[in-house]
Amino acid sequence: MPHRAALQSALRLILAWFFLNLVLNTDYPEALPTLLDALRPSLEVWGLLLALSLWAALSPGPSTAFRISLIVLFVLVRLFRIGDVLMPLYFSRPFNLYMDSGYVPDLIHLLGRSFASQNLLLMGGAAVALVILLLLGIHKAFQVALEAFSFPRLRRIFWGLTAALAVWVVFFPQSMNPYHAGIHPTTCTPRLLEEAELITRIGDLRSDWDLAVQSAAGRIPPYPLSLARLEKTDVYLFIIESYGETLFDETRHAGEFLPLLRNFEEGLNRAGFAVCSHYLESPTSGGSSWLAFGTLESGIRIPDQLRYEFLLNSRVQPLAGYFNDTGYRTVSVMPGTTMEWPEGEYFQYHQTYYYKDLDYQGPPFNWSPMPDQYVIKAVHQREIAQRSQPLFIRFMLTSTHAPFNLQPPFFPNWTDIGNGEIYHHRQPIAFSVNWPDMSEAGKAYLSSMRYDFTVLQDYLCRFVEDGALIIILGDHQPIAPVTGPDASACVPVHVISRNRALLEPFARMGYNLGMVPGPDPRNAKAMQDFLADLLEAFGTHRSGELR
Protein backbone atom coordinates (compact mmCIF):
# COMPACT_ATOMS: atom_id res chain seq x y z
CA MET A 1 0.00 0.00 0.00
CA PRO A 2 2.78 2.54 0.83
CA HIS A 3 4.43 1.57 -2.47
CA ARG A 4 1.21 2.34 -4.37
CA ALA A 5 0.82 5.69 -2.57
CA ALA A 6 4.42 6.58 -3.45
CA LEU A 7 3.81 5.67 -7.10
CA GLN A 8 0.69 7.84 -7.23
CA SER A 9 2.61 10.71 -5.62
CA ALA A 10 5.40 10.27 -8.16
CA LEU A 11 2.92 10.51 -11.04
CA ARG A 12 1.34 13.62 -9.49
CA LEU A 13 4.82 15.12 -9.01
CA ILE A 14 5.57 14.60 -12.70
CA LEU A 15 2.31 16.34 -13.63
CA ALA A 16 3.08 19.22 -11.23
CA TRP A 17 6.57 19.55 -12.74
CA PHE A 18 5.11 19.50 -16.26
CA PHE A 19 2.59 22.23 -15.35
CA LEU A 20 5.23 24.48 -13.77
CA ASN A 21 7.52 24.06 -16.78
CA LEU A 22 4.67 24.84 -19.14
CA VAL A 23 3.82 28.05 -17.27
CA LEU A 24 7.43 29.21 -17.15
CA ASN A 25 8.38 28.14 -20.69
CA THR A 26 5.39 29.71 -22.44
CA ASP A 27 6.55 33.00 -23.96
CA TYR A 28 3.26 34.34 -25.29
CA PRO A 29 2.73 36.31 -27.54
CA GLU A 30 5.47 34.38 -29.27
CA ALA A 31 4.40 31.00 -30.63
CA LEU A 32 2.99 28.72 -27.96
CA PRO A 33 5.36 25.89 -27.04
CA THR A 34 5.05 22.41 -28.44
CA LEU A 35 4.91 19.43 -26.13
CA LEU A 36 8.68 19.07 -26.42
CA ASP A 37 9.15 22.74 -25.49
CA ALA A 38 7.00 22.26 -22.41
CA LEU A 39 9.19 19.30 -21.37
CA ARG A 40 12.31 21.44 -21.23
CA PRO A 41 13.58 21.20 -17.64
CA SER A 42 13.71 24.77 -16.39
CA LEU A 43 16.52 25.12 -13.86
CA GLU A 44 14.44 27.70 -11.97
CA VAL A 45 11.55 25.24 -11.58
CA TRP A 46 13.98 22.49 -10.67
CA GLY A 47 15.63 24.71 -8.07
CA LEU A 48 12.30 25.50 -6.42
CA LEU A 49 11.40 21.81 -6.33
CA LEU A 50 14.82 21.05 -4.85
CA ALA A 51 14.12 23.60 -2.12
CA LEU A 52 10.81 21.85 -1.42
CA SER A 53 12.51 18.45 -1.24
CA LEU A 54 15.07 19.77 1.26
CA TRP A 55 12.28 21.35 3.31
CA ALA A 56 10.43 18.02 3.39
CA ALA A 57 13.61 16.26 4.54
CA LEU A 58 14.61 18.77 7.21
CA SER A 59 11.39 20.34 8.48
CA PRO A 60 8.21 18.31 8.98
CA GLY A 61 6.39 21.36 10.35
CA PRO A 62 3.86 23.71 8.65
CA SER A 63 4.94 24.88 5.20
CA THR A 64 2.35 27.49 4.10
CA ALA A 65 4.66 30.51 4.44
CA PHE A 66 7.49 28.63 2.73
CA ARG A 67 5.24 27.61 -0.18
CA ILE A 68 3.99 31.17 -0.55
CA SER A 69 7.58 32.45 -0.72
CA LEU A 70 8.32 29.92 -3.47
CA ILE A 71 5.20 31.01 -5.36
CA VAL A 72 6.34 34.64 -5.14
CA LEU A 73 9.78 33.68 -6.48
CA PHE A 74 8.17 31.70 -9.30
CA VAL A 75 5.89 34.62 -10.27
CA LEU A 76 8.81 37.07 -10.23
CA VAL A 77 10.82 34.84 -12.57
CA ARG A 78 7.75 34.49 -14.82
CA LEU A 79 7.32 38.28 -14.94
CA PHE A 80 11.01 38.77 -15.70
CA ARG A 81 10.79 36.38 -18.63
CA ILE A 82 7.73 38.23 -19.93
CA GLY A 83 9.76 41.44 -19.98
CA ASP A 84 12.73 39.66 -21.53
CA VAL A 85 10.49 38.48 -24.39
CA LEU A 86 8.29 41.55 -24.92
CA MET A 87 10.98 44.26 -25.11
CA PRO A 88 12.93 42.71 -28.02
CA LEU A 89 9.69 41.54 -29.65
CA TYR A 90 8.07 45.00 -29.79
CA PHE A 91 10.84 47.53 -29.14
CA SER A 92 13.96 45.91 -30.65
CA ARG A 93 16.09 46.25 -27.52
CA PRO A 94 16.97 44.16 -24.47
CA PHE A 95 14.86 44.28 -21.33
CA ASN A 96 16.31 46.34 -18.47
CA LEU A 97 14.76 45.32 -15.16
CA TYR A 98 15.67 48.50 -13.27
CA MET A 99 14.43 51.01 -15.83
CA ASP A 100 11.69 49.12 -17.66
CA SER A 101 9.85 48.13 -14.48
CA GLY A 102 9.04 51.83 -14.14
CA TYR A 103 7.11 51.68 -17.41
CA VAL A 104 4.40 49.38 -16.01
CA PRO A 105 1.96 52.30 -15.42
CA ASP A 106 2.61 53.48 -18.99
CA LEU A 107 1.94 49.98 -20.29
CA ILE A 108 -1.36 49.83 -18.41
CA HIS A 109 -2.21 53.29 -19.77
CA LEU A 110 -1.36 52.17 -23.32
CA LEU A 111 -3.55 49.07 -23.09
CA GLY A 112 -6.35 51.06 -21.48
CA ARG A 113 -6.41 53.47 -24.43
CA SER A 114 -6.02 50.80 -27.11
CA PHE A 115 -9.30 48.96 -26.53
CA ALA A 116 -12.95 49.97 -26.40
CA SER A 117 -14.27 50.13 -22.83
CA GLN A 118 -16.44 47.01 -23.01
CA ASN A 119 -13.65 45.02 -24.70
CA LEU A 120 -11.23 46.23 -22.07
CA LEU A 121 -13.55 45.10 -19.28
CA LEU A 122 -14.03 41.69 -20.88
CA MET A 123 -10.33 41.19 -21.51
CA GLY A 124 -9.40 42.57 -18.10
CA GLY A 125 -11.86 40.22 -16.42
CA ALA A 126 -10.54 37.27 -18.43
CA ALA A 127 -6.96 38.23 -17.56
CA VAL A 128 -7.76 38.46 -13.84
CA ALA A 129 -9.53 35.09 -13.95
CA LEU A 130 -6.58 33.52 -15.78
CA VAL A 131 -4.10 34.93 -13.25
CA ILE A 132 -6.16 33.60 -10.36
CA LEU A 133 -6.37 30.15 -11.97
CA LEU A 134 -2.64 30.12 -12.63
CA LEU A 135 -1.85 31.14 -9.05
CA LEU A 136 -4.13 28.41 -7.72
CA GLY A 137 -2.51 25.94 -10.10
CA ILE A 138 0.99 26.96 -9.02
CA HIS A 139 0.01 26.69 -5.36
CA LYS A 140 -1.48 23.25 -5.95
CA ALA A 141 1.60 22.10 -7.90
CA PHE A 142 3.92 23.04 -5.03
CA GLN A 143 1.58 21.37 -2.54
CA VAL A 144 1.60 18.16 -4.63
CA ALA A 145 5.41 18.30 -4.85
CA LEU A 146 5.75 18.71 -1.08
CA GLU A 147 3.46 15.74 -0.47
CA ALA A 148 5.51 13.64 -2.90
CA PHE A 149 8.75 14.58 -1.22
CA SER A 150 7.41 13.27 2.09
CA PHE A 151 8.44 9.86 0.69
CA PRO A 152 12.20 9.42 1.30
CA ARG A 153 12.60 7.20 -1.77
CA LEU A 154 11.11 9.85 -4.08
CA ARG A 155 13.42 12.44 -2.55
CA ARG A 156 16.46 10.25 -3.24
CA ILE A 157 15.36 9.65 -6.85
CA PHE A 158 14.85 13.40 -7.33
CA TRP A 159 18.27 14.19 -5.83
CA GLY A 160 19.84 11.65 -8.17
CA LEU A 161 18.17 13.32 -11.14
CA THR A 162 19.36 16.68 -9.78
CA ALA A 163 22.95 15.39 -9.78
CA ALA A 164 22.57 14.22 -13.39
CA LEU A 165 21.12 17.61 -14.36
CA ALA A 166 24.03 19.36 -12.65
CA VAL A 167 26.50 17.30 -14.70
CA TRP A 168 24.64 18.32 -17.89
CA VAL A 169 24.75 21.97 -16.92
CA VAL A 170 28.47 21.85 -16.08
CA PHE A 171 29.57 20.02 -19.23
CA PHE A 172 27.05 21.46 -21.74
CA PRO A 173 26.39 25.06 -20.58
CA GLN A 174 26.09 26.31 -24.17
CA SER A 175 22.95 24.22 -24.67
CA MET A 176 20.91 26.22 -22.16
CA ASN A 177 18.75 29.04 -23.40
CA PRO A 178 15.21 29.72 -22.18
CA TYR A 179 14.11 31.06 -25.57
CA HIS A 180 15.30 28.30 -27.92
CA ALA A 181 13.51 25.07 -28.72
CA GLY A 182 14.68 21.65 -27.58
CA ILE A 183 14.47 19.34 -24.58
CA HIS A 184 17.73 20.64 -23.11
CA PRO A 185 17.72 22.45 -19.74
CA THR A 186 16.90 26.15 -19.85
CA THR A 187 17.56 29.00 -17.45
CA CYS A 188 17.17 32.75 -17.20
CA THR A 189 19.27 32.94 -14.00
CA PRO A 190 22.32 34.39 -15.85
CA ARG A 191 20.10 37.20 -17.12
CA LEU A 192 18.74 37.77 -13.62
CA LEU A 193 22.28 37.93 -12.23
CA GLU A 194 23.25 40.34 -15.00
CA GLU A 195 20.37 42.65 -14.09
CA ALA A 196 21.15 42.33 -10.36
CA GLU A 197 24.77 43.30 -11.04
CA LEU A 198 23.58 46.36 -12.97
CA ILE A 199 21.36 47.40 -10.06
CA THR A 200 24.29 47.16 -7.62
CA ARG A 201 26.24 49.56 -9.87
CA ILE A 202 23.39 52.01 -10.38
CA GLY A 203 24.99 54.65 -8.14
CA ASP A 204 28.16 54.68 -10.25
CA LEU A 205 26.12 54.69 -13.43
CA ARG A 206 24.13 57.67 -12.20
CA SER A 207 27.35 59.61 -11.66
CA ASP A 208 28.69 58.62 -15.09
CA TRP A 209 25.45 59.52 -16.85
CA ASP A 210 25.19 62.83 -15.01
CA LEU A 211 28.68 63.74 -16.21
CA ALA A 212 27.80 62.55 -19.73
CA VAL A 213 24.72 64.80 -19.87
CA GLN A 214 26.67 67.83 -18.70
CA SER A 215 29.60 67.06 -21.02
CA ALA A 216 27.32 66.66 -24.04
CA ALA A 217 25.65 69.97 -23.23
CA GLY A 218 29.03 71.69 -23.43
CA ARG A 219 29.29 70.83 -27.12
CA ILE A 220 26.83 73.60 -28.00
CA PRO A 221 28.46 77.05 -27.84
CA PRO A 222 26.50 80.08 -26.54
CA TYR A 223 24.39 81.97 -29.06
CA PRO A 224 23.28 85.33 -27.61
CA LEU A 225 21.15 86.05 -30.69
CA SER A 226 20.21 82.42 -30.89
CA LEU A 227 18.40 82.12 -34.21
CA ALA A 228 18.83 85.57 -35.70
CA ARG A 229 19.30 84.37 -39.26
CA LEU A 230 15.74 83.06 -39.33
CA GLU A 231 14.74 86.75 -39.42
CA LYS A 232 11.56 86.08 -37.41
CA THR A 233 10.35 83.38 -39.81
CA ASP A 234 7.68 81.12 -38.28
CA VAL A 235 8.90 77.59 -37.64
CA TYR A 236 6.51 74.63 -37.41
CA LEU A 237 7.90 71.28 -36.24
CA PHE A 238 5.65 68.27 -36.89
CA ILE A 239 6.79 65.10 -35.11
CA ILE A 240 4.90 62.15 -36.58
CA GLU A 241 4.53 59.23 -34.20
CA SER A 242 6.19 56.03 -35.50
CA TYR A 243 7.23 57.58 -38.84
CA GLY A 244 10.24 55.38 -39.56
CA GLU A 245 12.79 54.40 -42.17
CA THR A 246 10.91 51.14 -42.74
CA LEU A 247 8.57 53.04 -45.09
CA PHE A 248 11.50 53.60 -47.45
CA ASP A 249 13.55 50.44 -46.89
CA GLU A 250 11.05 47.62 -46.39
CA THR A 251 9.74 46.51 -49.80
CA ARG A 252 6.20 45.74 -48.66
CA HIS A 253 5.91 49.25 -47.21
CA ALA A 254 7.87 51.26 -49.77
CA GLY A 255 5.81 49.98 -52.69
CA GLU A 256 2.73 51.68 -51.29
CA PHE A 257 4.29 54.59 -49.41
CA LEU A 258 6.68 56.04 -52.01
CA PRO A 259 3.90 56.86 -54.54
CA LEU A 260 2.07 58.61 -51.71
CA LEU A 261 5.23 60.55 -50.89
CA ARG A 262 5.76 61.55 -54.53
CA ASN A 263 2.19 62.87 -54.63
CA PHE A 264 2.89 64.79 -51.41
CA GLU A 265 6.05 66.33 -52.90
CA GLU A 266 4.33 67.24 -56.17
CA GLY A 267 1.56 68.98 -54.24
CA LEU A 268 4.13 70.96 -52.28
CA ASN A 269 5.99 71.93 -55.44
CA ARG A 270 2.79 73.17 -57.09
CA ALA A 271 2.17 75.35 -54.02
CA GLY A 272 5.67 76.83 -54.32
CA PHE A 273 7.45 74.80 -51.62
CA ALA A 274 10.90 73.27 -51.89
CA VAL A 275 11.97 70.35 -49.72
CA CYS A 276 15.11 68.47 -48.73
CA SER A 277 15.39 65.35 -46.58
CA HIS A 278 17.75 63.19 -44.55
CA TYR A 279 17.71 60.41 -41.97
CA LEU A 280 18.17 60.89 -38.23
CA GLU A 281 19.14 58.07 -35.91
CA SER A 282 16.64 58.00 -33.05
CA PRO A 283 17.72 56.85 -29.56
CA THR A 284 14.68 54.57 -29.32
CA SER A 285 12.57 52.20 -31.42
CA GLY A 286 8.94 51.16 -31.19
CA GLY A 287 8.03 53.51 -28.33
CA SER A 288 9.25 55.82 -25.54
CA SER A 289 8.73 58.92 -27.69
CA TRP A 290 9.85 61.22 -24.87
CA LEU A 291 13.39 59.86 -25.27
CA ALA A 292 13.29 60.92 -28.93
CA PHE A 293 12.01 64.46 -28.49
CA GLY A 294 14.15 64.84 -25.37
CA THR A 295 17.15 64.01 -27.56
CA LEU A 296 16.01 66.23 -30.41
CA GLU A 297 15.33 69.26 -28.25
CA SER A 298 18.29 69.02 -25.87
CA GLY A 299 21.04 68.08 -28.30
CA ILE A 300 21.99 65.18 -26.02
CA ARG A 301 21.40 61.52 -26.80
CA ILE A 302 18.86 60.19 -24.27
CA PRO A 303 18.55 56.41 -24.76
CA ASP A 304 16.94 55.49 -21.45
CA GLN A 305 14.80 56.75 -18.59
CA LEU A 306 17.67 57.45 -16.20
CA ARG A 307 19.39 59.84 -18.57
CA TYR A 308 16.01 61.42 -19.34
CA GLU A 309 15.55 62.15 -15.64
CA PHE A 310 19.03 63.68 -15.51
CA LEU A 311 18.14 65.86 -18.47
CA LEU A 312 14.97 67.15 -16.80
CA ASN A 313 16.98 68.16 -13.73
CA SER A 314 19.84 69.70 -15.69
CA ARG A 315 20.51 73.25 -16.84
CA VAL A 316 20.80 72.21 -20.47
CA GLN A 317 18.94 74.74 -22.60
CA PRO A 318 16.29 73.08 -24.79
CA LEU A 319 15.26 73.98 -28.32
CA ALA A 320 12.37 76.25 -27.29
CA GLY A 321 14.76 78.23 -25.07
CA TYR A 322 16.75 79.36 -28.12
CA PHE A 323 13.56 80.51 -29.83
CA ASN A 324 12.49 82.30 -26.64
CA ASP A 325 15.82 84.17 -26.63
CA THR A 326 15.18 85.29 -30.23
CA GLY A 327 11.77 86.82 -29.48
CA TYR A 328 9.52 83.96 -30.58
CA ARG A 329 6.33 82.78 -28.96
CA THR A 330 6.92 79.07 -28.39
CA VAL A 331 4.06 76.57 -28.35
CA SER A 332 4.03 72.85 -27.53
CA VAL A 333 1.11 70.75 -28.78
CA MET A 334 0.81 67.30 -27.16
CA PRO A 335 -2.77 65.98 -27.50
CA GLY A 336 -1.70 62.51 -26.32
CA THR A 337 -0.82 63.87 -22.87
CA THR A 338 -3.99 63.15 -20.92
CA MET A 339 -2.57 63.37 -17.38
CA GLU A 340 -0.59 65.95 -15.45
CA TRP A 341 2.94 66.23 -16.83
CA PRO A 342 5.12 68.53 -14.69
CA GLU A 343 8.20 67.28 -16.56
CA GLY A 344 7.07 69.45 -19.47
CA GLU A 345 8.34 72.55 -17.68
CA TYR A 346 11.91 71.62 -18.62
CA PHE A 347 11.20 72.27 -22.32
CA GLN A 348 10.46 75.99 -21.67
CA TYR A 349 7.47 76.55 -23.96
CA HIS A 350 5.42 79.69 -23.39
CA GLN A 351 2.21 77.81 -24.12
CA THR A 352 1.36 74.13 -23.88
CA TYR A 353 -1.70 72.42 -25.33
CA TYR A 354 -2.43 69.05 -23.79
CA TYR A 355 -5.57 66.96 -24.26
CA LYS A 356 -7.66 68.97 -21.80
CA ASP A 357 -6.66 72.29 -23.40
CA LEU A 358 -7.93 71.51 -26.90
CA ASP A 359 -11.69 71.31 -26.10
CA TYR A 360 -12.24 68.26 -28.27
CA GLN A 361 -15.82 66.93 -28.19
CA GLY A 362 -15.46 63.89 -30.41
CA PRO A 363 -14.63 60.23 -29.74
CA PRO A 364 -11.10 58.91 -29.14
CA PHE A 365 -9.48 56.76 -31.79
CA ASN A 366 -8.15 54.15 -29.41
CA TRP A 367 -4.72 55.34 -28.18
CA SER A 368 -4.98 58.66 -30.01
CA PRO A 369 -7.47 60.79 -28.05
CA MET A 370 -8.25 63.05 -31.02
CA PRO A 371 -7.45 63.23 -34.76
CA ASP A 372 -4.36 65.09 -35.93
CA GLN A 373 -6.46 67.12 -38.37
CA TYR A 374 -8.54 68.47 -35.47
CA VAL A 375 -5.37 69.27 -33.48
CA ILE A 376 -3.75 71.22 -36.32
CA LYS A 377 -6.98 73.10 -37.02
CA ALA A 378 -7.51 74.04 -33.37
CA VAL A 379 -3.96 75.31 -32.91
CA HIS A 380 -4.04 77.16 -36.23
CA GLN A 381 -7.15 79.06 -35.12
CA ARG A 382 -5.77 79.86 -31.66
CA GLU A 383 -2.17 80.64 -32.49
CA ILE A 384 -1.30 81.00 -36.16
CA ALA A 385 -4.34 82.93 -37.37
CA GLN A 386 -4.01 85.38 -34.45
CA ARG A 387 -0.23 85.67 -34.07
CA SER A 388 1.33 88.98 -33.17
CA GLN A 389 4.93 87.74 -32.97
CA PRO A 390 6.93 85.01 -34.71
CA LEU A 391 5.97 81.50 -33.73
CA PHE A 392 7.76 78.26 -33.05
CA ILE A 393 5.20 75.47 -32.70
CA ARG A 394 6.05 71.86 -32.01
CA PHE A 395 3.21 69.45 -32.89
CA MET A 396 3.29 65.89 -31.51
CA LEU A 397 0.98 64.06 -33.92
CA THR A 398 -0.67 60.94 -32.49
CA SER A 399 -2.99 59.46 -35.15
CA THR A 400 -0.17 57.13 -36.25
CA HIS A 401 0.34 55.61 -32.79
CA ALA A 402 0.17 51.83 -32.37
CA PRO A 403 -1.99 49.76 -32.49
CA PHE A 404 -3.18 51.67 -35.63
CA ASN A 405 -6.52 49.85 -35.54
CA LEU A 406 -8.96 52.78 -35.41
CA GLN A 407 -8.27 55.81 -37.59
CA PRO A 408 -10.21 59.00 -38.28
CA PRO A 409 -11.60 60.05 -41.68
CA PHE A 410 -10.11 63.06 -43.47
CA PHE A 411 -12.33 66.12 -43.99
CA PRO A 412 -11.52 68.09 -47.17
CA ASN A 413 -13.53 71.00 -45.73
CA TRP A 414 -11.77 71.84 -42.48
CA THR A 415 -14.61 74.00 -41.21
CA ASP A 416 -16.80 70.88 -41.04
CA ILE A 417 -14.68 69.60 -38.16
CA GLY A 418 -15.94 72.19 -35.66
CA ASN A 419 -15.40 71.05 -32.08
CA GLY A 420 -14.98 67.43 -33.15
CA GLU A 421 -18.56 66.23 -32.57
CA ILE A 422 -18.79 65.34 -36.25
CA TYR A 423 -16.47 62.37 -35.66
CA HIS A 424 -19.29 60.73 -33.70
CA HIS A 425 -21.28 60.62 -36.93
CA ARG A 426 -18.61 59.45 -39.37
CA GLN A 427 -17.43 55.88 -39.69
CA PRO A 428 -13.81 55.43 -38.61
CA ILE A 429 -11.33 53.41 -40.62
CA ALA A 430 -10.98 50.14 -38.70
CA PHE A 431 -8.49 47.28 -38.86
CA SER A 432 -8.70 43.97 -37.02
CA VAL A 433 -5.35 44.25 -35.26
CA ASN A 434 -4.56 44.97 -31.63
CA TRP A 435 -2.26 44.02 -28.81
CA PRO A 436 -0.67 41.57 -28.26
CA ASP A 437 -0.69 40.14 -31.80
CA MET A 438 0.51 42.89 -34.14
CA SER A 439 1.94 40.62 -36.81
CA GLU A 440 -0.62 41.85 -39.39
CA ALA A 441 -0.40 45.54 -38.48
CA GLY A 442 1.51 46.61 -41.60
CA LYS A 443 -1.55 47.69 -43.64
CA ALA A 444 -3.03 49.55 -40.71
CA TYR A 445 0.29 51.33 -40.14
CA LEU A 446 0.48 52.38 -43.80
CA SER A 447 -3.10 53.64 -43.67
CA SER A 448 -2.31 55.81 -40.64
CA MET A 449 0.67 57.31 -42.48
CA ARG A 450 -1.51 57.98 -45.52
CA TYR A 451 -3.92 59.88 -43.26
CA ASP A 452 -1.25 62.08 -41.68
CA PHE A 453 0.43 62.96 -44.98
CA THR A 454 -2.95 63.75 -46.51
CA VAL A 455 -3.68 66.09 -43.60
CA LEU A 456 -0.25 67.74 -43.74
CA GLN A 457 -0.28 68.23 -47.51
CA ASP A 458 -3.71 69.82 -47.43
CA TYR A 459 -2.83 72.01 -44.48
CA LEU A 460 0.51 73.26 -45.80
CA CYS A 461 -0.76 73.94 -49.31
CA ARG A 462 -3.97 75.69 -48.25
CA PHE A 463 -3.18 77.45 -44.99
CA VAL A 464 0.56 78.22 -44.85
CA GLU A 465 0.81 81.20 -47.17
CA ASP A 466 4.19 82.66 -46.22
CA GLY A 467 7.81 81.50 -46.17
CA ALA A 468 7.54 79.57 -42.89
CA LEU A 469 10.10 76.87 -42.18
CA ILE A 470 8.38 73.49 -41.88
CA ILE A 471 10.16 70.52 -40.34
CA ILE A 472 8.56 67.07 -40.46
CA LEU A 473 10.20 64.06 -38.85
CA GLY A 474 9.51 60.78 -37.11
CA ASP A 475 10.19 60.16 -33.46
CA HIS A 476 11.12 56.50 -33.83
CA GLN A 477 10.54 53.41 -35.96
CA PRO A 478 7.22 51.57 -35.46
CA ILE A 479 7.07 48.43 -33.35
CA ALA A 480 9.22 45.49 -34.44
CA PRO A 481 6.31 43.37 -35.79
CA VAL A 482 5.83 46.12 -38.40
CA THR A 483 9.48 46.77 -39.27
CA GLY A 484 10.60 43.15 -39.17
CA PRO A 485 13.76 41.97 -37.39
CA ASP A 486 17.06 43.87 -37.33
CA ALA A 487 15.56 47.19 -38.43
CA SER A 488 17.61 50.34 -38.01
CA ALA A 489 16.67 53.09 -35.55
CA CYS A 490 16.52 55.69 -38.34
CA VAL A 491 13.67 58.11 -39.00
CA PRO A 492 13.15 60.53 -41.92
CA VAL A 493 13.41 64.29 -41.51
CA HIS A 494 12.08 66.74 -44.13
CA VAL A 495 12.77 70.47 -44.22
CA ILE A 496 10.23 72.46 -46.27
CA SER A 497 9.80 76.13 -47.16
CA ARG A 498 8.86 78.50 -49.96
CA ASN A 499 11.96 80.48 -48.98
CA ARG A 500 14.67 78.38 -50.61
CA ALA A 501 17.41 80.26 -48.77
CA LEU A 502 16.27 78.55 -45.58
CA LEU A 503 17.03 75.14 -47.13
CA GLU A 504 20.55 75.99 -48.28
CA PRO A 505 22.23 75.25 -44.91
CA PHE A 506 20.61 71.81 -44.85
CA ALA A 507 21.73 71.10 -48.42
CA ARG A 508 25.30 71.93 -47.34
CA MET A 509 24.89 69.43 -44.47
CA GLY A 510 24.14 66.66 -46.96
CA TYR A 511 20.34 66.71 -47.06
CA ASN A 512 18.91 65.18 -50.22
CA LEU A 513 16.72 67.29 -52.53
CA GLY A 514 13.11 66.10 -52.37
CA MET A 515 11.12 63.97 -49.93
CA VAL A 516 13.26 60.83 -50.22
CA PRO A 517 16.03 61.05 -47.62
CA GLY A 518 18.59 59.18 -49.70
CA PRO A 519 19.43 55.60 -50.60
CA ASP A 520 21.45 54.64 -47.52
CA PRO A 521 20.24 55.14 -43.93
CA ARG A 522 23.74 54.22 -42.75
CA ASN A 523 24.63 57.83 -43.56
CA ALA A 524 22.04 59.04 -41.05
CA LYS A 525 22.81 61.97 -38.82
CA ALA A 526 22.40 61.54 -35.08
CA MET A 527 19.13 62.96 -33.77
CA GLN A 528 21.01 64.76 -30.98
CA ASP A 529 22.95 66.74 -33.62
CA PHE A 530 19.84 68.34 -35.08
CA LEU A 531 19.79 71.17 -32.52
CA ALA A 532 23.45 72.02 -33.11
CA ASP A 533 22.84 71.91 -36.88
CA LEU A 534 19.88 74.28 -36.55
CA LEU A 535 21.92 76.70 -34.45
CA GLU A 536 24.84 76.42 -36.84
CA ALA A 537 22.53 77.23 -39.75
CA PHE A 538 20.70 80.17 -38.23
CA GLY A 539 22.53 81.24 -35.06
CA THR A 540 24.87 84.10 -34.21
CA HIS A 541 28.00 83.53 -32.10
CA ARG A 542 29.17 85.88 -29.33
CA SER A 543 31.55 87.58 -31.71
CA GLY A 544 28.54 88.57 -33.80
CA GLU A 545 29.71 86.42 -36.68
CA LEU A 546 26.87 84.86 -38.60
CA ARG A 547 27.33 81.12 -39.16
> Would you place residue 332 in the very low, low, confident or very high pLDDT band (cuts 50, 70, 90)?
very high
Kindly state whether residues 247 and 181 are assigned to the same domain.
no
In the chain, % of residues over pLDDT 70: 87
Q: What is the C-alpha radius of gyration for the chain, rounded to an integer number of angstroms?
A: 28
| Residues 6 or more apart whose Cβ sits within 8 Å of residue 24 | 42, 44, 45, 74, 77, 78, 81
CA-to-CA distance for 100 and 490, rounded, in angstroms? 22
- What pLDDT is recorded for position 288? 85
409: in domain: yes
Kindly state whether residues 352 and 387 are assigned to the same domain.
yes
Task: Report in angstroms the alpha-carbon separations of 453 from 131, 136, 385.
Answer: 43, 51, 22
Over the stretch 35-58, which tens digit does the pLDDT of each residue have?
666 677 888 888 888 888 888 888
> Would you place residue 407 in the very low, low, confident or very high pLDDT band (cuts 50, 70, 90)?
very high
Kindly state whether residues 148 and 244 are assigned to the same domain.
no
- What pLDDT is recorded for position 23? 86
Helix, strand, or coil (residue 344): helix
Average pLDDT in the 94-118 region?
70
Least reliable range by pLDDT among 159-163, 194-198, 340-344, 364-368: 194-198
134: in domain: yes
- Count structural domains, the chain: 2
* Residue where one domain finishes, among candidates 197, 222, 244: 197
Kindly state whether residues 409 and 271 are assigned to the same domain.
yes
356: in domain: yes
- What pLDDT is recorded for position 547? 39
CA-to-CA distance for 125 and 118, rounded, in angstroms? 11
Kindly state whether residues 273 and 177 are assigned to the same domain.
no
- What pLDDT is recorded for position 219? 65
545: in domain: no
Over the stretch 236-292, which tens digit does the pLDDT of each residue have?
999 999 999 999 987 778 888 999 999 999 999 999 999 999 999 999 988 888 999
In the chain, % of residues over pLDDT 90: 39
Kindly state whether residues 85 and 57 are assigned to the same domain.
yes
* Residue where one domain finishes, among candidates 171, 197, 223: 197
543: in domain: no
- What pLDDT is recorded for position 81? 84
546: in domain: no
CA-to-CA distance for 376 and 238, rounded, in angstroms? 10
321: in domain: yes
Kindly state whether residues 209 and 96 are assigned to the same domain.
no
Average pLDDT in the 151-180 region?
74
Kindly state whether residues 289 and 381 are assigned to the same domain.
yes
Concatenated DSSP letters for 492-514? EEEEEES-GGGTHHHHHTTPEES
- What pLDDT is recorded for position 542? 46
- What pLDDT is recorded for position 191? 85
> Would you place residue 402 in the very low, low, confident or very high pLDDT band (cuts 50, 70, 90)?
confident
Average pLDDT in the 500-513 region?
93
Contact criterion met (CB below 8 Å) for 245 and 491: yes
Least reliable range by pLDDT among 108-112, 277-281, 476-480: 108-112
Kindly state whether residues 291 and 263 are assigned to the same domain.
yes
* Residue where one domain finishes, among candidates 166, 197, 228: 197
- What pLDDT is recorded for position 131? 84
Give residue 141's domain range. Answer: 2-197
Kindly state whether residues 245 and 268 are assigned to the same domain.
yes
- What pLDDT is recorded for position 469? 97
Kindly state whether residues 193 and 222 are assigned to the same domain.
no
Nearest residue to 46 (alpha-carbon basis) of 209, 238, 249, 187:
187
pTM, whole model, 2 decimals? 0.83
Kindly state whether residues 106 and 218 are assigned to the same domain.
no
Q: What CATH number should be reported for the domain holding residue 473?
A: 3.40.720.10
346: in domain: yes
- What pLDDT is recorded for position 383? 95
